[in-house]
Structure 1
Amino acid sequence: MAVDPSFTDLPTLPPEMDDHLVKVIFVGSAGVGKTCLVRRLFSDAFNPDTRATVGCDFHFKRYMFDKKSIGVTLWDTAGTEKFQAVTSNYYRGAQGVVLVYDVTRRETLDAIERLWLPEVDRFSTFPEAVKMVVGNKIDMEGERQVSPEEGAAFALRHGCMYSETSARTDAGVYDALVWGVLVNIVDTPSLLRSNEPERLRIEQPAGGEGGEGEGRRTHGAGGGSCCG
Protein backbone atom coordinates (compact mmCIF):
# COMPACT_ATOMS: atom_id res chain seq x y z
CA MET A 1 0.00 0.00 0.00
CA ALA A 2 1.49 3.35 -0.99
CA VAL A 3 1.74 5.81 1.88
CA ASP A 4 1.97 9.56 1.47
CA PRO A 5 4.60 10.82 3.93
CA SER A 6 2.35 13.64 5.10
CA PHE A 7 -0.51 11.31 6.08
CA THR A 8 0.66 8.14 7.84
CA ASP A 9 -0.60 5.50 10.24
CA LEU A 10 -0.26 6.47 13.89
CA PRO A 11 0.78 3.96 16.55
CA THR A 12 -1.72 2.98 19.23
CA LEU A 13 -2.46 5.81 21.63
CA PRO A 14 -5.14 6.56 24.24
CA PRO A 15 -8.24 8.12 22.59
CA GLU A 16 -7.89 11.37 24.53
CA MET A 17 -4.68 12.07 22.62
CA ASP A 18 -6.44 12.46 19.27
CA ASP A 19 -6.45 16.08 18.13
CA HIS A 20 -9.43 15.62 15.83
CA LEU A 21 -12.13 13.04 15.15
CA VAL A 22 -13.33 12.29 11.63
CA LYS A 23 -16.29 10.18 10.54
CA VAL A 24 -16.53 8.80 7.01
CA ILE A 25 -19.56 6.79 5.86
CA PHE A 26 -19.58 4.38 2.90
CA VAL A 27 -22.90 4.01 1.05
CA GLY A 28 -24.02 2.30 -2.14
CA SER A 29 -25.92 -0.70 -3.42
CA ALA A 30 -25.37 -4.21 -2.07
CA GLY A 31 -22.42 -6.05 -3.55
CA VAL A 32 -20.45 -3.05 -4.83
CA GLY A 33 -17.54 -3.78 -2.48
CA LYS A 34 -17.95 -1.22 0.32
CA THR A 35 -16.95 -3.72 2.99
CA CYS A 36 -13.85 -4.82 1.09
CA LEU A 37 -12.77 -1.22 0.53
CA VAL A 38 -13.13 -0.43 4.22
CA ARG A 39 -11.25 -3.56 5.25
CA ARG A 40 -8.53 -2.89 2.70
CA LEU A 41 -8.08 0.58 4.16
CA PHE A 42 -8.36 -0.61 7.76
CA SER A 43 -6.16 -3.71 7.66
CA ASP A 44 -4.77 -3.92 4.10
CA ALA A 45 -6.53 -7.27 3.63
CA PHE A 46 -8.97 -8.70 1.09
CA ASN A 47 -11.42 -11.57 1.57
CA PRO A 48 -13.37 -12.57 -1.56
CA ASP A 49 -15.91 -14.42 0.59
CA THR A 50 -16.91 -11.37 2.65
CA ARG A 51 -20.62 -11.50 3.45
CA ALA A 52 -23.00 -8.63 2.87
CA THR A 53 -23.18 -6.07 5.67
CA VAL A 54 -26.29 -6.15 7.85
CA GLY A 55 -27.06 -2.79 9.44
CA CYS A 56 -23.67 -1.16 9.90
CA ASP A 57 -20.07 -2.11 10.66
CA PHE A 58 -17.56 0.45 11.83
CA HIS A 59 -13.79 0.52 12.08
CA PHE A 60 -11.52 2.93 13.94
CA LYS A 61 -8.07 3.94 12.71
CA ARG A 62 -5.60 6.68 13.53
CA TYR A 63 -3.43 8.76 11.23
CA MET A 64 -0.86 11.48 11.75
CA PHE A 65 -1.24 14.48 9.49
CA ASP A 66 0.62 17.77 9.82
CA LYS A 67 1.78 16.78 13.33
CA LYS A 68 -1.77 16.13 14.51
CA SER A 69 -3.44 12.85 15.46
CA ILE A 70 -6.62 12.21 13.46
CA GLY A 71 -8.98 9.54 14.78
CA VAL A 72 -10.99 8.20 11.83
CA THR A 73 -14.16 6.13 12.12
CA LEU A 74 -15.08 4.30 8.90
CA TRP A 75 -18.78 3.35 8.72
CA ASP A 76 -19.72 0.54 6.34
CA THR A 77 -23.49 0.49 5.75
CA ALA A 78 -25.90 -2.08 4.35
CA GLY A 79 -26.72 -1.58 0.68
CA THR A 80 -30.22 -3.02 0.51
CA GLU A 81 -33.18 -0.67 0.33
CA LYS A 82 -34.87 -2.28 3.34
CA PHE A 83 -32.10 -0.83 5.53
CA GLN A 84 -32.32 2.71 4.15
CA ALA A 85 -34.34 4.01 7.09
CA VAL A 86 -31.67 2.66 9.42
CA THR A 87 -28.79 3.93 7.30
CA SER A 88 -30.13 7.48 7.45
CA ASN A 89 -29.26 7.59 11.16
CA TYR A 90 -25.59 7.03 10.40
CA TYR A 91 -25.15 10.18 8.30
CA ARG A 92 -25.23 12.31 11.46
CA GLY A 93 -21.85 13.90 12.06
CA ALA A 94 -20.20 12.44 8.95
CA GLN A 95 -17.63 14.80 7.47
CA GLY A 96 -17.02 12.50 4.53
CA VAL A 97 -19.33 10.39 2.36
CA VAL A 98 -18.02 7.76 -0.06
CA LEU A 99 -20.61 6.70 -2.66
CA VAL A 100 -19.52 3.38 -4.13
CA TYR A 101 -20.70 1.71 -7.32
CA ASP A 102 -19.57 -1.36 -9.25
CA VAL A 103 -18.12 -0.48 -12.67
CA THR A 104 -19.45 -3.81 -14.02
CA ARG A 105 -23.06 -3.03 -12.98
CA ARG A 106 -24.45 0.18 -14.44
CA GLU A 107 -27.53 -0.01 -12.25
CA THR A 108 -25.38 0.60 -9.16
CA LEU A 109 -24.29 3.98 -10.56
CA ASP A 110 -27.92 4.78 -11.36
CA ALA A 111 -28.77 3.94 -7.74
CA ILE A 112 -26.35 6.57 -6.47
CA GLU A 113 -28.36 9.23 -8.29
CA ARG A 114 -31.74 7.71 -7.47
CA LEU A 115 -31.23 6.65 -3.84
CA TRP A 116 -27.97 7.55 -2.17
CA LEU A 117 -27.29 11.15 -3.20
CA PRO A 118 -30.81 12.26 -2.16
CA GLU A 119 -30.18 10.62 1.23
CA VAL A 120 -26.87 12.44 1.60
CA ASP A 121 -28.54 15.76 0.81
CA ARG A 122 -31.37 15.06 3.22
CA PHE A 123 -29.57 13.65 6.23
CA SER A 124 -25.99 14.98 6.11
CA THR A 125 -25.06 17.18 9.07
CA PHE A 126 -22.52 19.18 7.08
CA PRO A 127 -23.52 20.77 3.76
CA GLU A 128 -19.79 21.07 3.01
CA ALA A 129 -19.09 17.38 3.71
CA VAL A 130 -16.50 15.88 1.37
CA LYS A 131 -18.24 13.59 -1.12
CA MET A 132 -16.50 11.12 -3.38
CA VAL A 133 -18.00 8.81 -6.00
CA VAL A 134 -15.90 5.64 -6.25
CA GLY A 135 -16.10 3.16 -9.12
CA ASN A 136 -14.94 -0.15 -7.63
CA LYS A 137 -13.91 -3.50 -9.18
CA ILE A 138 -11.70 -2.09 -11.93
CA ASP A 139 -9.81 -5.40 -11.87
CA MET A 140 -12.81 -6.79 -13.81
CA GLU A 141 -12.06 -4.61 -16.84
CA GLY A 142 -13.48 -7.10 -19.33
CA GLU A 143 -16.92 -6.79 -17.72
CA ARG A 144 -16.91 -3.00 -17.35
CA GLN A 145 -20.21 -1.25 -18.14
CA VAL A 146 -19.31 2.27 -16.95
CA SER A 147 -16.28 3.98 -18.48
CA PRO A 148 -13.92 6.11 -16.35
CA GLU A 149 -14.99 9.16 -18.35
CA GLU A 150 -18.68 8.52 -17.68
CA GLY A 151 -18.07 8.00 -13.98
CA ALA A 152 -15.99 11.18 -13.72
CA ALA A 153 -18.64 13.20 -15.58
CA PHE A 154 -21.33 11.84 -13.25
CA ALA A 155 -19.34 12.87 -10.17
CA LEU A 156 -18.61 16.33 -11.57
CA ARG A 157 -22.28 16.85 -12.37
CA HIS A 158 -23.17 16.14 -8.75
CA GLY A 159 -20.37 18.15 -7.16
CA CYS A 160 -18.38 15.12 -5.99
CA MET A 161 -14.79 14.00 -6.25
CA TYR A 162 -14.19 10.88 -8.33
CA SER A 163 -11.86 7.91 -8.21
CA GLU A 164 -11.71 4.29 -9.34
CA THR A 165 -10.48 1.42 -7.19
CA SER A 166 -10.07 -2.30 -6.85
CA ALA A 167 -10.41 -3.68 -3.35
CA ARG A 168 -9.08 -6.99 -4.69
CA THR A 169 -5.77 -5.62 -6.01
CA ASP A 170 -5.62 -2.52 -3.77
CA ALA A 171 -5.44 -0.29 -6.85
CA GLY A 172 -6.33 3.30 -6.00
CA VAL A 173 -7.70 2.55 -2.52
CA TYR A 174 -5.25 4.56 -0.45
CA ASP A 175 -5.03 7.43 -2.93
CA ALA A 176 -8.81 7.75 -3.16
CA LEU A 177 -9.87 7.29 0.43
CA VAL A 178 -6.95 8.73 2.37
CA TRP A 179 -5.33 11.26 0.07
CA GLY A 180 -8.66 12.12 -1.55
CA VAL A 181 -11.28 12.10 1.20
CA LEU A 182 -9.41 12.44 4.49
CA VAL A 183 -6.94 15.09 3.38
CA ASN A 184 -9.78 17.21 1.98
CA ILE A 185 -11.61 16.92 5.30
CA VAL A 186 -8.49 17.97 7.20
CA ASP A 187 -8.08 20.90 4.81
CA THR A 188 -11.64 22.11 5.56
CA PRO A 189 -11.56 23.79 9.00
CA SER A 190 -15.34 23.84 9.37
CA LEU A 191 -15.40 20.03 9.18
CA LEU A 192 -12.83 19.38 11.89
CA ARG A 193 -13.89 18.99 15.48
CA SER A 194 -11.61 18.91 18.47
CA ASN A 195 -11.42 15.79 20.60
CA GLU A 196 -14.38 15.67 22.98
CA PRO A 197 -14.01 12.75 25.44
CA GLU A 198 -17.74 12.30 26.06
CA ARG A 199 -18.52 12.12 22.34
CA LEU A 200 -15.62 9.76 21.81
CA ARG A 201 -16.94 7.37 24.46
CA ILE A 202 -20.27 7.26 22.65
CA GLU A 203 -18.82 6.74 19.18
CA GLN A 204 -15.72 4.66 19.93
CA PRO A 205 -16.04 1.30 18.11
CA ALA A 206 -15.57 -1.98 19.92
CA GLY A 207 -11.92 -2.84 20.18
CA GLY A 208 -10.80 -1.21 23.38
CA GLU A 209 -10.09 2.33 24.41
CA GLY A 210 -6.40 2.19 23.64
CA GLY A 211 -6.20 1.47 19.94
CA GLU A 212 -7.72 0.69 16.61
CA GLY A 213 -10.84 -1.45 16.52
CA GLU A 214 -14.04 -2.41 14.84
CA GLY A 215 -17.64 -3.03 15.78
CA ARG A 216 -21.06 -3.79 14.40
CA ARG A 217 -24.65 -2.66 14.67
CA THR A 218 -26.93 -5.27 13.13
CA HIS A 219 -30.59 -5.32 12.20
CA GLY A 220 -31.31 -8.82 10.96
CA ALA A 221 -29.65 -11.65 9.11
CA GLY A 222 -27.36 -11.24 6.14
CA GLY A 223 -25.75 -13.34 3.49
CA GLY A 224 -24.02 -13.40 0.19
CA SER A 225 -20.60 -12.36 -0.98
CA CYS A 226 -20.19 -8.65 -1.65
CA CYS A 227 -16.62 -7.98 -2.67
CA GLY A 228 -14.58 -7.91 -5.82
Structure 2
Amino acid sequence: MGSAEGERNGDYDYSLKVLLIGDSGVGKSSLMLSFLSNLDSLGPPPTVGVDFRIKYLTIGDKKLKITIWDTAGQEKFRTITGSYYRGTHGIIMVYDVTRRDTFKNLVDIWAKEVAIYSTNHDCIKVLVGNKVDKEIDRKVTREEGIALAKEMGCMFIECSAKTGENVSRCFQDLAIEILGVPRLLEEASNKSKVKVSANAGCQCG
Protein backbone atom coordinates (compact mmCIF):
# COMPACT_ATOMS: atom_id res chain seq x y z
CA MET A 1 0.00 0.00 0.00
CA GLY A 2 2.97 2.32 0.35
CA SER A 3 6.59 2.70 -0.64
CA ALA A 4 9.64 4.87 -0.24
CA GLU A 5 9.24 5.78 -3.90
CA GLY A 6 5.78 7.10 -3.17
CA GLU A 7 7.24 9.27 -0.40
CA ARG A 8 9.91 10.76 -2.65
CA ASN A 9 7.43 11.53 -5.42
CA GLY A 10 4.74 12.88 -3.11
CA ASP A 11 2.41 10.24 -4.55
CA TYR A 12 -0.54 10.80 -2.24
CA ASP A 13 -3.70 12.89 -2.18
CA TYR A 14 -3.78 13.84 1.49
CA SER A 15 -1.23 14.06 4.30
CA LEU A 16 -2.83 13.36 7.69
CA LYS A 17 -1.37 13.90 11.15
CA VAL A 18 -2.59 11.51 13.86
CA LEU A 19 -1.64 11.81 17.53
CA LEU A 20 -1.66 8.99 20.09
CA ILE A 21 -2.27 10.13 23.68
CA GLY A 22 -3.03 8.51 27.03
CA ASP A 23 -1.33 7.37 30.22
CA SER A 24 2.00 5.56 30.26
CA GLY A 25 1.70 1.83 29.75
CA VAL A 26 -1.70 1.76 28.03
CA GLY A 27 -0.13 0.44 24.82
CA LYS A 28 0.13 3.48 22.54
CA SER A 29 3.45 2.38 21.03
CA SER A 30 2.22 -1.20 20.72
CA LEU A 31 -0.89 -0.07 18.84
CA MET A 32 1.21 1.93 16.41
CA LEU A 33 3.70 -0.88 15.85
CA SER A 34 0.91 -3.44 15.44
CA PHE A 35 -0.63 -1.25 12.75
CA LEU A 36 2.74 -0.84 11.05
CA SER A 37 3.36 -4.57 11.00
CA ASN A 38 0.29 -5.02 8.77
CA LEU A 39 1.24 -2.32 6.28
CA ASP A 40 4.27 -1.07 4.41
CA SER A 41 5.93 1.60 6.48
CA LEU A 42 8.48 4.33 6.06
CA GLY A 43 9.78 6.34 8.94
CA PRO A 44 12.67 7.17 11.21
CA PRO A 45 13.93 4.98 14.04
CA PRO A 46 12.53 5.73 17.50
CA THR A 47 13.60 9.18 18.68
CA VAL A 48 14.20 10.67 22.09
CA GLY A 49 11.13 12.53 23.26
CA VAL A 50 8.55 11.66 20.65
CA ASP A 51 8.44 9.00 17.98
CA PHE A 52 6.63 9.31 14.69
CA ARG A 53 6.16 6.90 11.82
CA ILE A 54 4.75 7.37 8.34
CA LYS A 55 2.17 5.05 6.84
CA TYR A 56 0.69 4.93 3.36
CA LEU A 57 -2.91 3.85 3.12
CA THR A 58 -5.47 3.77 0.33
CA ILE A 59 -9.11 4.45 1.23
CA GLY A 60 -11.38 4.11 -1.78
CA ASP A 61 -9.64 6.03 -4.54
CA LYS A 62 -7.71 8.29 -2.15
CA LYS A 63 -4.05 7.75 -1.34
CA LEU A 64 -3.18 8.87 2.18
CA LYS A 65 0.12 9.62 3.87
CA ILE A 66 -0.48 9.21 7.59
CA THR A 67 2.08 10.53 10.06
CA ILE A 68 1.45 8.91 13.44
CA TRP A 69 2.91 10.70 16.45
CA ASP A 70 3.46 8.53 19.52
CA THR A 71 3.86 10.47 22.77
CA ALA A 72 5.02 7.48 24.86
CA GLY A 73 7.25 8.59 27.71
CA GLN A 74 6.22 12.22 27.57
CA GLU A 75 3.14 11.89 29.74
CA LYS A 76 5.29 10.88 32.72
CA PHE A 77 6.95 14.29 32.71
CA ARG A 78 3.91 16.27 31.56
CA THR A 79 5.92 17.65 28.66
CA ILE A 80 3.34 17.06 25.96
CA THR A 81 2.84 20.57 24.66
CA GLY A 82 0.84 22.39 22.05
CA SER A 83 3.41 21.65 19.36
CA TYR A 84 2.38 17.99 19.28
CA TYR A 85 -1.29 18.88 18.87
CA ARG A 86 -0.78 21.58 16.27
CA GLY A 87 -2.30 20.72 12.89
CA THR A 88 -3.56 17.34 14.07
CA HIS A 89 -6.34 15.82 11.96
CA GLY A 90 -7.03 12.85 14.23
CA ILE A 91 -6.43 12.06 17.91
CA ILE A 92 -6.43 8.51 19.30
CA MET A 93 -7.11 8.58 23.05
CA VAL A 94 -5.99 5.27 24.56
CA TYR A 95 -6.79 3.63 27.88
CA ASP A 96 -6.11 0.16 29.30
CA VAL A 97 -9.33 -1.79 29.96
CA THR A 98 -7.60 -3.49 32.91
CA ARG A 99 -6.69 -0.18 34.62
CA ARG A 100 -9.57 2.06 35.61
CA ASP A 101 -7.26 4.96 36.46
CA THR A 102 -6.18 5.22 32.81
CA PHE A 103 -9.84 5.48 31.80
CA LYS A 104 -10.55 8.16 34.42
CA ASN A 105 -7.49 10.17 33.36
CA LEU A 106 -8.84 10.52 29.82
CA VAL A 107 -11.44 12.87 31.27
CA ASP A 108 -9.37 14.40 34.09
CA ILE A 109 -6.22 15.05 32.05
CA TRP A 110 -6.20 14.18 28.35
CA ALA A 111 -9.54 15.60 27.20
CA LYS A 112 -8.60 18.89 28.89
CA GLU A 113 -5.27 19.00 27.05
CA VAL A 114 -7.01 18.37 23.72
CA ALA A 115 -9.40 21.25 24.44
CA ILE A 116 -6.51 23.57 25.29
CA TYR A 117 -3.94 22.66 22.65
CA SER A 118 -5.73 21.25 19.60
CA THR A 119 -5.72 23.85 16.82
CA ASN A 120 -8.07 21.89 14.55
CA HIS A 121 -11.43 22.07 16.27
CA ASP A 122 -12.87 19.75 13.61
CA CYS A 123 -10.26 17.05 14.25
CA ILE A 124 -11.65 13.56 14.62
CA LYS A 125 -11.18 11.82 17.97
CA VAL A 126 -11.44 8.13 18.73
CA LEU A 127 -11.55 6.58 22.19
CA VAL A 128 -9.67 3.28 22.25
CA GLY A 129 -9.88 0.64 24.96
CA ASN A 130 -6.72 -1.46 24.57
CA LYS A 131 -5.70 -4.89 25.95
CA VAL A 132 -9.05 -6.66 25.46
CA ASP A 133 -7.01 -9.87 25.21
CA LYS A 134 -6.84 -9.64 29.04
CA GLU A 135 -10.59 -10.05 29.42
CA ILE A 136 -10.21 -11.84 32.75
CA ASP A 137 -8.56 -8.73 34.22
CA ARG A 138 -11.00 -6.22 32.72
CA LYS A 139 -11.94 -3.31 35.01
CA VAL A 140 -13.68 -1.04 32.47
CA THR A 141 -16.71 -2.41 30.65
CA ARG A 142 -17.35 -1.89 26.96
CA GLU A 143 -20.59 -0.11 27.87
CA GLU A 144 -18.66 2.41 29.98
CA GLY A 145 -16.33 3.08 27.07
CA ILE A 146 -19.24 3.62 24.69
CA ALA A 147 -20.92 5.98 27.17
CA LEU A 148 -17.76 8.08 27.63
CA ALA A 149 -17.15 8.28 23.88
CA LYS A 150 -20.71 9.51 23.39
CA GLU A 151 -20.24 12.08 26.14
CA MET A 152 -17.00 13.29 24.56
CA GLY A 153 -18.42 13.28 21.04
CA CYS A 154 -15.90 10.85 19.62
CA MET A 155 -15.70 7.43 18.00
CA PHE A 156 -15.16 4.28 20.09
CA ILE A 157 -13.43 0.97 19.53
CA GLU A 158 -11.81 -1.74 21.66
CA CYS A 159 -8.51 -3.23 20.48
CA SER A 160 -5.72 -5.61 21.35
CA ALA A 161 -2.28 -4.51 20.21
CA LYS A 162 -1.04 -7.96 21.27
CA THR A 163 -3.38 -9.97 19.02
CA GLY A 164 -3.98 -7.26 16.42
CA GLU A 165 -7.73 -7.30 17.01
CA ASN A 166 -9.36 -4.16 15.55
CA VAL A 167 -6.01 -2.31 15.30
CA SER A 168 -6.09 -1.72 11.53
CA ARG A 169 -9.80 -0.99 11.74
CA CYS A 170 -9.13 1.71 14.33
CA PHE A 171 -6.75 3.66 12.07
CA GLN A 172 -8.77 3.02 8.91
CA ASP A 173 -12.07 4.12 10.47
CA LEU A 174 -10.35 7.26 11.75
CA ALA A 175 -9.00 8.02 8.27
CA ILE A 176 -12.45 7.50 6.73
CA GLU A 177 -13.99 9.96 9.22
CA ILE A 178 -11.29 12.55 8.48
CA LEU A 179 -12.01 12.19 4.76
CA GLY A 180 -15.58 13.20 5.51
CA VAL A 181 -14.63 16.62 6.91
CA PRO A 182 -14.08 19.15 4.07
CA ARG A 183 -12.15 21.67 6.19
CA LEU A 184 -9.66 19.02 7.33
CA LEU A 185 -9.23 17.77 3.78
CA GLU A 186 -8.54 21.25 2.47
CA GLU A 187 -5.69 21.60 4.95
CA ALA A 188 -4.42 18.07 4.32
CA SER A 189 -4.52 18.19 0.53
CA ASN A 190 -1.18 17.44 -1.11
CA LYS A 191 -2.29 19.13 -4.34
CA SER A 192 -3.03 22.43 -2.59
CA LYS A 193 0.45 22.37 -1.04
CA VAL A 194 2.04 21.74 -4.44
CA LYS A 195 0.01 24.59 -5.93
CA VAL A 196 1.07 27.01 -3.19
CA SER A 197 4.70 25.95 -3.58
CA ALA A 198 4.58 26.44 -7.34
CA ASN A 199 3.01 29.89 -6.99
CA ALA A 200 5.59 30.91 -4.42
CA GLY A 201 8.38 30.08 -6.86
CA CYS A 202 6.81 31.93 -9.80
CA GLN A 203 8.92 34.71 -11.29
CA CYS A 204 6.40 37.18 -12.63
CA GLY A 205 6.70 40.54 -14.37
Q: TM-score range by the shorter chain?
A: 0.7 to 0.9
Alpha-carbon spacing, 1:82–1:168, altered in 2? closer, same or farther (3 Å): closer
Residue 116 of structure 1 aligns with an amino acid whose one-letter code is: W
Q: CA deviation at 1:170?
A: 0.5
Q: Give the percent of matched residue pairs that are identical in Structure 1 and Structure 2.
A: 40
Residue 93 of structure 2 aligns with an amino acid whose one-letter code is: L
Is 2:116 the partner of 1:116?
no
Is 2:60 the partner of 1:61?
no
Q: Secondary structure at the match of 2:140?
A: coil
Is 2:63 the partner of 1:78?
no
Q: Secondary structure at the match of 1:85?
A: coil
Q: Secondary structure at the match of 1:112?
A: helix
For the aligned residues, what is the CA RMSD? 2.3
Instruction: Answer whether contact 2:20 2:28 (CA < 8 A) is retained.
Output: yes
**Please, which of 175, 178, 194 is the counterpart of residue 189 of structure 2?**
194
TM-score normalised per structure 2: 0.82
TM-score normalised per structure 1: 0.74
Residue 181 of structure 1 aligns with an amino acid whose one-letter code is: L
From the CA coordinates, give the structure whose radius of gyration is larger: 2
Is 2:2 the partner of 1:10?
yes
What is the match of residue 5 of structure 1? none
1:116-144 deviation per Cα after TM superposition (whole angstroms, max 9, x unaligned): 11111111111111000100000000000
1:166-185 deviation per Cα after TM superposition (whole angstroms, max 9, x unaligned): 0000011111221x211101
Residue 95 of structure 1 aligns with an amino acid whose one-letter code is: H
Alignment partners' CA distance in 2, 1:82 and 1:136? 19
Higher relative contact order (CA 8 A, sep 6+): 1
Greater helix percent: which structure? 2
When structure 1 is superposed on structure 2, of 85-94 and 102-111 the one drifting more is 85-94
Alignment partners' CA distance in 1, 2:71 and 2:82? 10
Q: CA deviation at 1:80?
A: 5.0
Is 2:94 the partner of 1:100?
yes
What is the match of residue 175 of structure 2? 182
Q: CA deviation at 1:87?
A: 3.9
What is the match of residue 159 of structure 2? 165
Q: CA deviation at 1:82?
A: 4.5
Instruction: Answer whether contact 1:55 1:87 (CA < 8 A) is retained.
Output: no
Instruction: Answer whether contact 1:37 1:173 (CA < 8 A) is retained.
Output: yes
When structure 1 is superposed on structure 2, of 98-107 and 70-79 the one drifting more is 70-79
1:93-119 deviation per Cα after TM superposition (whole angstroms, max 9, x unaligned): 110000000000000011110111111
Q: Report the number of matched residues.
A: 184
Question: Which structure 1 residue ranges, 4+ long, deviate > 4 Å from structure 2?
Answer: none
What is the match of residue 199 of structure 2? none
Structure 2: state its 5+ residue gaps.
40-45, 197-205
